Structure formats: C-alpha cells, structure tokens
Amino acid sequence: MSLECAACARLASRATRSITRSVSSIAQGSSRLTPFSSQLPRFASTAPEQRPWLDVHKLRRDALAQPRPRRIDRSRFTTIAPVVPANLHGKSTSTEDVRLVAADRVSEDTSTSDAEARDSLSVFQGIKLPESSLGPTTAIVYRPIRSHSLPELIQLYKGLTKAKLSALITLTTMAGYAMCPLDPGATHAAMETFLTDTLAHLPIDMDQLALAATASSGGSQLSLPILLTASVGTALCCASANTFNQLVEVPYDAQMARTRNRVLVRRQVTPLHAFTFASSTALAGVGMLYHFVNPLTASIGLANIILYSFIYTPLKRVTIFNTWIGAVVGALPPLMGWAACTNTLDLLTQPGAWLLALLVFAWQFPHFNSLAWNLRADYAKAGYRMMSVTNPALNARVALRYSIACVPICLGLPYLGLTSAVFGYMSFLPNGLLIWTSYRFWRRVNDQTARELFWASLVHLPALLILMMLCKQGSSAQTEESSSVSRKDAETPSVEALE
C-alpha cells in the first residue's frame, strides 16, 4: 500500500506542475492573442445569401436533389451463353464472351429506369465468372443479333457460300458442258477403235457391244438456256454444301486464324438462319436441275451436297483419306455439266466426261496439299487430320504424283477425239509448270515452295480448260461447213432422178 500511495503522489505532483506551467505560458502570451470577439462581427454581419457555405438548409436541399445510390437486385442477373466474340477492340479473338445484363427489376424506392440500371453495370468480355456471382436464378440466353439490310445480307451470304470456290466449281461445270462433242460420231469412232484394239483378244462380240453403246448414247443438247440453268443449279448446290460445312465446323473454325472471321463464327447470323439458307438453296438447286435439265444431273448435285457436307466434313477429323473423298467431290461438277448436255454418263459412249472428271480429281492434290502445308499449324490446332500435319513427306509425294498424272490425262483427250492434236502439245506448258513446282516442293518442303505450287495450280486448271475449248474437235465453223455441204448435196439432183 505504501508503494502505491507513493506512486500516486508522484503522478499528482507531475500533473500539477504541468498545469501550472501551461497557465503561466498562456498568461505571458495573452497580449499577443487576437480575441475571438474581434472576429465574430465578420461572420455575423454577412447576409445568409452571401455565406452559402454556412447555409445548412441549402446544403440539405442540394444533397436531396442529387440522385440517390441505386440498389439493384443482383439475384436476377442474366448471362449470355459463351460464344466467340465478333471483334474485340478491332482484333478478332476466340475467347469466350461473357456479358452481364442488368435485371429487369430495380428497387421500388428508386426513380431510375431499367436502361439506366443496365448502363450502370460493366460489360465483361473474355472473363468467365463463377456461377455463385451470377445469382441463384441465372438464365442462359443467346445474345440478340441485329437485323441486316439487303446489301449486308448479300455480303453475308457470299461468306456462307464461299463465293470464290463456288465460282470455280461452276466454271468446271460449264467446261464439262462446253466440252461435249458437237459430233458424237467422232467420239464413237475413236471409242470403237480403242475397244477393238484393246479387247480384240477377249471373247466379246464387238458388233453387239457397238450396237449397245449406240443405243445407250444420248444426243447432245447444246443450248444456252440449258447451260445457264445447269450453271445456276450447280451454284445453288455448291452454296448449300458450303453452308452446311460451315455449320458443322463452327467450333473448329474459331480456332484457326484463316477461318475465325467467318460469318457463323462471328455470329453475324444465327445457326437457324444459316440452316434455313442451306436447305433452301439445296431444294432450289436440285429442283431446278431436275425440272429444267434432267434427273441425272439433279441426282449428281444431291450426291455432291451429301458427300461434301455429311461425309467429307466429319472425316477431316478422323483420317487423312478425307483428301481423296474431297477430290471426288470436286470431280463431280464436270460430270454434272456433261450429263446436262448428253443425259448419260455411260463409260463406253461418253469417256470424255470421265476423263475431264479425272483431270479435276488429279489437279486437286497439288492445289490442296500446298495450301494445307502453309495452314498445318491451324489444322493441328483444330484437330484436323491432314497429310501436312501427320505425314509431311507423304503430302509432298502425293502432290508430285498427281501433278505427273495430269500429263497422260491431257493426252487422252485428243486420243478420244474431244480435242485436236494441238491440245496435246500445248498442254505440256501448264503441266510442265505444275510438275516443276511440285518437284521443288517435294525436294525442299517449306513455305516458299508450297506457295509457289499453290499459285501454279491456280494458273494450271483455267489454262487447260481454255486450251480445251480452243482446240475442241468439231468447232462451230466446221459444223457450219459440213451442214452447208450436206444442204448442197440435198439440193443437187441425182443422175437416177434425171433419167
């Protein structure tokens, strides 16, 4: 107790000394201090409207006039289904696009509208939020797609149909129609000679075979309306097949730099819109070919759609033999053009149709394999099984083999009487260019040689088609000359008639 009392006494004495020291310092400096009463008249003499910083009522009114903090019911957030965004900050991307849209309901004690509440929320792009942050009643809906004007729809349809590819396919169809012989007798004679030379040692009655071939052959229908109808029908079938192809490959196209800007990947149209367009063009194309051309051409067009959209497209992720199936698809349009002209594809009477299809079939390997080499990284990323990804050496060898195969195919056209012998010699120029670039690609596989082969293939096929039509056997001038001769013979009376 004595120790505690002593400590308390020391604390009390220290406090007393400090207070005394403070009072004395204030007393000594009081003459230097300005009394508060001298400052009071400056505030008191000021009118209320001249001192708004002291007007409590005005401050309160200003505070009430400002908008109150909005309270939003976060339990009714909706989120848009994860999609690949169209274009973020001017650059295409394939990340998920997650958007938070404000709820339709805002607390009743606020005067804000739903639009203001929506504007008050941020839009998150490329961020996937946890489900717990979205509320218990989250509903997943599609982001609405704005309507397009007619010029915009035309551009979108061009992207869906791969307009450049469809134009090239339509060109091969027109070439198949144009290469039908005006005089089928020349082809029949050449085919008869070929069968006689090759099948002479077989126990086959050549007279019966020739009679059957003549009976099964159809007459040529070279007319401009049929050519235009066949071309438009083929273009519609190509448009349908390409649109179906893009519908299936949307998640894979989003991973490739070459295809991530396609219409469906950017969600410029809905999948239902694209499916409706593909179905409509398929029905229109096949129906036009069936009613205005012939059923054979329509059946080939329908087979082309099925083979490309539902067989070739899924097999791209399964086996490398998808390239051969795709080449078959590309070889069908010349057959469609030929069938539109002759209404038959009999191998014995119409060998030229199959030779044209074989030429387009062989051309596609150097063309596509060179393109696939420069796109091998994208194909591997998307999971496509291409020769350029799984076996680059085989990719180059196949391109060289089929480039060489184009030479005997071209020489077969004058042999069958479809073109003159001049075409056989002139075809060595484009074929030589294709073989040389394919050889360079095989010897040294790199991006430069692949690019050279690709551009050479783009020149090769149109050049051959133009040379074929220029050197076609039985031109219009020859036909007019023969018809004039036949008219003169008919007008000249015979000797027996005069007697």
Nearest 5°: the CA angle 475, 406, 314 is: 110
Provide the 3-class DSSP secondary structure of residue 220. coil
For 34-78, where are the alpha helices, taking DSSP H only?
Answer: 36-44, 56-65
pLDDT of residue 68: 56
- 388-397 own/partner pairs: CB under 8 Å, 24+ apart: 390/320, 391/320, 392/445, 393/445, 394/320, 395/369, 395/445, 396/369, 396/441, 396/442, 396/445, 397/442
Closest by Cα among 301, 285, 297, 277 to 233: 285
The total number of residues shown for the chain amounts to 499
pLDDT of residue 18: 64
pLDDT of residue 239: 95
Query: What separation in angstroms does the CA of 94 have from each of 141, 197, 245, 265?
Result: 19, 62, 19, 9
pLDDT of residue 15: 65
CA-to-CA distance for 285 and 230, rounded, in angstroms? 9
pLDDT of residue 35: 45
> Are the beta carbons of 369 and 437 closer than 8 angstroms?
no
CATH-assigned architecture of domain 350-475: Up-down Bundle (1.20)
**In what side-by-side order are the strands of the sheet with 100-101?**
100-101, 78-80, 140-141
Q: How far is CA 457 from the centre of its chain?
A: 21
> Are the beta carbons of 313 and 252 closer than 8 angstroms?
no
pLDDT of residue 473: 76
Closest by Cα among 320, 443, 462, 315 to 385: 320
For 45-126, where are the alpha helices, taking DSSP H only?
Answer: 56-65, 114-119
CA-to-CA distance for 143 and 395, rounded, in angstroms? 42
Which residues lie below 8 Å from residue 437, measured CB to CB, with a gap of 6+? 366, 449, 452, 453, 456
H/E run at residue 140: strand 140-141
CA-to-CA distance for 447 and 394, rounded, in angstroms? 16
pLDDT of residue 495: 36
- Could you tell me the CATH superfamily of domain 157-182+221-344? UbiA prenyltransferase (1.10.357.140)
Sort strands 100-101 and 78-80 into parallel, antiparallel or unpaired: antiparallel
Query: What separation in angstroms does the CA of 380 have from each of 387, 398, 441, 469?
Result: 11, 20, 21, 41
Which residues lie below 8 Å from residue 19, measured CB to CB, with a gap of 6+? none
Domain boundaries, the chain: 157-182+221-344, 350-475
SS3 of 264-315: the string is: CCCCCCCHHHHHHHHHHHHHHHHHHHHHHCCHHHHHHHHHHHHHHHHHHHHH
Q: How many C-beta atoms lie closer than 10 Å to residue 416's C-beta?
A: 19
CA-to-CA distance for 47 and 43, rounded, in angstroms? 9
Provide the 3-class DSSP secondary structure of residue 78. strand
Mean pLDDT by 10 residues, the chain (499 residues): 61 66 55 44 46 52 58 44 40 39 37 42 39 48 74 91 92 91 55 53 50 47 85 95 94 89 90 94 96 95 94 93 94 94 88 93 95 92 91 94 95 90 93 96 93 95 92 59 46 41
> Are the beta carbons of 125 and 99 closer than 8 angstroms?
yes
Q: How many C-beta atoms lie closer than 10 Å to residue 306's C-beta?
A: 14
CA-to-CA distance for 288 and 230, rounded, in angstroms? 8
Query: What separation in angstroms does the CA of 297 have from each of 173, 226, 447?
Result: 11, 11, 40
